[in-house]
Amino acid sequence: MLSIFLKEKKYSELTIYLLIVILPFTLVSGPFLSDLSISLITIIFIYITLKKKTIFLLFQQVYKNFCIILFIFTFYLIVFFGSDNFLKKNNFFL
């Protein structure tokens, strides 16, 4: 089964999987190895996304999620600050 997995994935993707698996052990060993593994994962991820040209798709998904979170946060602020309890607690608005 491992040989099938190795044939389907490229070395850069296998390196990412290996670094993710080793990450708990590097956290125990100290800050240098854990920071190094996270940095390598990030660099390899950027390389893969630029190579496959999926960066635009990634930006679209991030933008949609950001808009949804911003809408929820704005709605929360309007409801919280518009409530009567908030206005009664703060003497600044009176």
Tens-place pLDDT, residues 43-64? 888 888 777 777 677 677 777 8
DSSP string over 4-18: HHHHHS-HHHHHHHH
The pLDDT of residue 40 is above 80: yes
Dist CA 18 CA 16 (whole Å): 5
Residues 71, 8: Cα–Cα separation, whole Å: 40
Token digits of residue 55: 């960066």
pLDDT at position 92, please? 58
CA proximity to 22, closest of 1, 6, 41, 8: 41
Q: Write b or e for each residue in 28-44: b if 16 or more Cβ atoms lie within 10 A of its Cβ, otherwise e.
A: eeeeeebeebeeebeeb
Domain ranges (residues) in the chain: 9-53, 55-94
Give the pLDDT mean for 30-48.
87
